[in-house]
Structure 1
Amino acid sequence: MIAEKVADHFKNIRRKVEAGQRLDFEDGLVLYDPRVPLQELGELANHVREQKHGNVAYYNINTHLNPTNVCIYRCRFCAFRSDLRDPKGYTMSDEQVLARGAEAFENGCTEMHIVGGLHHKQPYEWYRGMLEQLTAAYPTIHLKAWTPVEVGWFEFLTKMSVREVLDDLRQAGLGSMPGGGAEIFHSEVRDQICEHKADSHKWFEVHREAHRLGLRSNCTMLYGHLEEAFHRVDHLLRLRELQDETGGFQTFIPLAFHPENTELANLKKPTALADLRNLAVARLMLDNISHIKAYWIMLGIETAQVALHYGADDIDGTVRHELIYHDAGATTPEFLTVQRMRDLIAETGREPVERDTLYRHIHRDPSDYRKWTVGAPTATVGT
């Protein structure tokens, strides 16, 4: 009888989606119910995905910069952080940061993704200075930097307001913000996995202020640890609410928890089926966020490819020097070539489209891959 009720509810969800109606909290719980066949859920998410993006799938050419892993926080899910005197700990010099910029430029990168630990011995000027130096040396590379956790730390260090910190970082070269630090917003879970880190209120405050300043940002959710479906749906609806208010989120990235080398190493990594369900549910619930990213570093290449038919329209980029997920046991390659990225997308029957951080077309000089120009914004079908 219960299974029949779930099936009937899913039929109603399908009718709502096909009519362009918004799904609610109870709908989200049903979508996470394992009695809803994953294939049918995927087909519905793919319907929405193709309504928005047709047959294209996006990628970019990017590199990661994690300037230090020394961190004052001890989040239970994190394998990246280190204590100051731990042999694993490191802090990059200005020369090393600029060398990473040079490498990015030589490889045609349009974006640097910059996040790291909260080093209690480094002043705010060290973090700001990275942006300023990279912008001066490589002005064409977009700097997507610092999560709300780091911005909250900068607020503490400087005694400036969040808005003042963000405005100062923007003047130094900040182009947009990543979505990290969201984890799970609900306090029942957040207090267990990252008790002392910036709370959900701070996360939303920082993104709200960033959007008001004209900065675009991404948003994330870490799943597959201590949370339940209730917490995931609550998380998605909070994101949707802020997007209704500001319209500043570009992309949602569901992130699977990797337990290796963390304090939660007793847990099992989410399965590929769980990964696909989270992507599909996100596409259906987040009707006002344009893009859903299947982050291949976290998912694995094969699952990321399948995800392009389960709601995702983006698989991220070439991703040089990713450390955070690899420290937690990710076995994916350290980076992919551009041709490999394009082939992976084409193998799924999708059309590969290179975009920049702000979802504008990138046009490459065929004689010199380091030379490129920004074109028109990528089209969203039906909007």
Structure 2
Amino acid sequence: MATTFDTRALTRPVTPPEVSAFRRAKLASGDPRWRTSWWVGVLVLVLFAVVFPLVVGANVGVLARSATAGLVAGLVLLAIILAVGIILPNRGSRVRWERMLRAEEFARANAMEFSPRSGSPPYQGAIFGVGSDRKVVEHVWSTRGPVADCGTYRYTTGSGKDRRVHTWQFAAVRLEGPLPHMLLDARANNTFLGSNLPATFSADQRVSLGGEFDRHFDLYCPQGYGFDAFYLFTPDLMAHLIDHTQALDVEFVDEWMLLYSRGGLSPTEPRTWERLAQISDTVARLMRDRSRSYRDPRVAEQNRQALAAVGPVAGPPSIAPQGRRLRRGVAWRSIVFTAVVIIGYQLLRHLVNSD
């Protein structure tokens, strides 16, 4: 049966009274996920609206040698700042609540759940577990069906001036059994420094499947699992990956297929769910079949050795320890580039100062 999502709620006309009623109901529910830190924006606006007009007005007064001119300039600037500071945030807030209203209706129509904000996802993929303040916003998920999760994931690295918020969009698709840890790093979204992913994996785990596939993806799998990759990535699967996921990074870890994008998997866009339906019926369907039948021969050998040593070993078929996680590597290209920039900057400063 083909995967379908009813996306009408994401595009239907929404009236301002509907949005206002939805907002009031959610804020009145007491659910902390719906609370907004509006007071921070108000505080910044008030400070800016008071300090900036005072400074500008004083300077205008001095230049024009007229206290009246300075007062008028300050008041005009204050009116402009307040108008812009009130109108734009209100419009942005209205658009946000309208988007959440549609997302919740979409989730309800498709037997899914929606949350404006959720905690750190439990997945073991390349973009997760990095940095601090990890959360998912505009989060749609389901406990049923293969397409389990979709949202915008954010985390923070650094502090002070180096503090940076990273944003990814992701989707999680259930498989029917565990697979070796494998990563398809899409070349379409990489830079001259290499992968755009926050995690770097050891280059000796790269596996070439040949032909057009290698022009679209860099495949990483644990050492010794190259033959398994050839078994799993059959020509029809590779063709579907190129057709439907070539701009996405795809990771297989434990019993999940994870899709990553910087801007192509927004859960509030109908195109995202049309794309996920296609992926579910092509790439994910084939990988579910593979995961159902795949058996890691290393597990059987390890069980045989354990049986000989200590007796029967209970438990379902799984993945050998060496196949469960890729080994991390070092981003040498980025390190070298950063070193060259720093050295070049210092040399330039020295040349300028010597003149």
TM-score normalised by L of structure 2: 0.25
> Which has more radius of gyration?
2
TM-score normalised by L of structure 1: 0.24
Between 1 and 2, higher relative CO (CA 8 Å, sep ≥ 6) is seen in: 1
Identify the structure with the greater helix proportion. Answer: 2
